[in-house]
Structures are given as C-alpha cells and as structure tokens.
Structure 1
Amino acid sequence: MRTASIIRKTHETDIAVEVNLDGTGAYDVSTGIGFLDHMIEQFSRHSLIDIKCHIKGDLHVDQHHTTEDSAIAIGQAITQALGDKAGIGRYGDVNSPMDEALSRVSLDISGRPYLVWKAAFTQDKLGEFDTEMVEHWFHSIAQAVGITLHIELLYGSNNHHICEGIFKGFARAMRSAVELDPRKGGAIPSTKGILGQASL
C-alpha cells in the first residue's frame, strides 16, 4: 500500500495528515473552515485517495495559513506516498460538469510545479471560506506534489458549483495520474528514467 503521514507544525498551523493512494475515498477532515473541509472531502471521495487531515490554525488572523498549509501537507504526503512514481499513470485530463458549470482540469505529475488558473468567482465567500483562497490552494498543492496543473472554467454562474466542480475534476484527474498502470511493468513513466522531485 502506498501510504504516508505528515506532521507539520509552525507558529501558524499544527497539522496531521495521512494518505493512502490505494484507498476507497475514505476521509476524516477537520480544518476549522467548513467549506474547505467539504472540498477536501470531495477531493478524497472522487480521487479514491483516503485522506485524514486535522488542522489547528490561526483562524483568528485569517484563513490564509490554514488553507495554504492544508494543501502543502496533503501534497507532501502524496509525494511521499508516490515514492519514485514508478508505474503511475502520471497524466490526468477531465471535463467536470456541476449543473450549469463546466470546468476542465489537466495535469501531469512531472516534478515541474506550475499552475495555470483560468477561473473566477463573483462573490467573496462560500460559506465562511474566502474564494480568493481557492486558486492559492491549488497553487500550493501543485508546488508540494510537483504537478503541472491547468484549471479552466469553461462556463458557469453558481460559485458553489464552479468551486466544487473544479475540486471534483482535480480529484478525478489525480485518480488517473496516481493509479498504477499494469502495462507499464513498474517503469517510471519518463524517457529520462526519473521524474523530478518537488520541494517546498
């Protein structure tokens, strides 16, 4: 089983994360931000990556550190569980519908972190969650895992649907990318013979 756990403590957050890349989408998430919990749960359920994520953050300041560090810690755990990435699919490409909203998520677990973000929200908050932090969450997890990540909202009007559709699309793309492909015979999916390691 490809599993990992991360303990990350700073002056801003205290985080414990566990992941199982070969799971069933089971989750146990508590960040102190209800909508962020909901999105990480969606990521777990639709990627089939089991995620346990408990955070105590400085929410009396704002949501930035908790949101950012949740992505960093989950990303670090995924990176650890992937190891040398031998046999993985590496790529994922998903069109993700959520009612009237349609988004596209394409990614490559290349070791070269890069985020292209072409989406926007028309309200400042979803529940108590600051919508400006959605892009930053994806930037942080792309950096932590080493993902080349392209996210584009094709169309949509409901902010909740837009955000949830993007998280579900990311989940399904990650499922394709981290799953082991038996045809690869355990080979690293690169002609270089190695996939770069992200650092953060």
Structure 2
Amino acid sequence: MKSSHQSILELAAQRGLIRPRDLHELGLPTVTLTRLVRQGLLTRVGRGLYAHPDRSISEHGTLAEVARRHPQAIVCLLSALRVHDLTTQSPFEVWLAIPNKARAPKMDYPLLRIVRFSGPALTDGIEDHQIDGVNVRVTNVARTVADCFKFRNKIGLDVAIEALQEAWRSKRVSMDELWRYATLCRVANVMRPYMESLS
C-alpha cells in the first residue's frame, strides 16, 4: 500500500503544481504538505500551491501557477502574445479574460490584469497549452491579435499592429481567421486598413 507521502509526491510530479484541494479530491491528508515542505521534498511556490523543488520551470511558469489556482481564467492580450512569441514586450502582469459577472481572481504574485468578456467573445478561439505540466487556456493567435485591437487603448496601437504584422509574416494566421475574430471583437473597421496593407 502506497503512503500518502508517496501519493502526494507522485501527484506533484504528474501535475506540475498541486493545491490542497487536489488532495481533498483524492482523500489525501493536506497536513502532509507541510511535512513534505519541511523535509524539502516539496516547495511552496505560492499561497496554496506546491511543487517538486527540482521541477523545470519554463519562461511561462507564472502562467502555470495562475492556471492551477484559477483554471477557468483565460490567458489573453499581452500574456497570450508572449505565449505565441508575437511580441518583444515582456509583461510583468498576467492578462486574464474572465466572464463579465465572475468574481475577479486574486493572487499576491504575479500581478493580474483582468479583462471581462461575455458570450462568444469569451469562449471562441481558446486553445489548451501544456505549460510546466499544467493545462493553461490561451486565446489563439488570430483571436489575440483582434483582442489587441479591441483593447488598443490599454496596450497601445503600436503593440496591436506589431502583433498583426508578426502573426502574418510568420504565416500563423489567415485573412479569414483574422476577419472572423475582428468581426467577433467588433473591430473590423479598425483592423481593415492594417489588414489591407498586408495583402
């Protein structure tokens, strides 16, 4: 019979990051987390988040931490541009899309920038990415570009244009995809001249 120590360490290896809630679901004692941290077998990476001390952390490790704590949130805008490698900027905040009426997630670190959406503008164009063993929901390339134009007052028109040009140059989007999300995000008129300059 496996000890709860072993089970928890295996769970941490499998999921990358674990929360006390994950142990509850499996009927494992959460008090064991503190013991494992004291023994140096687990590290507390944030409030209510634990991981193997020697786990490999990618450049997007903070996104995995956010996704583990708030699995319904969607990585968007500057953070999504970073995931898709479409910007030279490195945002110090994690940009998250949440439903209009949802309570905003809170974390001590990293800082979160919340953007609210509803209906298809929230649910369309979402991809699942595996980051450090954690499933992270991210807006796809075309949707991210359209979102950047929609929120150009928050992030800057220059960033939106750079994202559009880079996505097109690297052949990561088609005109049809761009047009679809431009229409969905209600920025077709804003994007049209920039899209026409590409073709």
> Taking structure 2 as the reference length, what is the TM-score of the superposition?
0.26
Q: Which has the larger radius of gyration?
A: 2
Q: Say which structure is richer in strand.
A: 1
When normalised by structure 1's length, the TM-score is 0.26
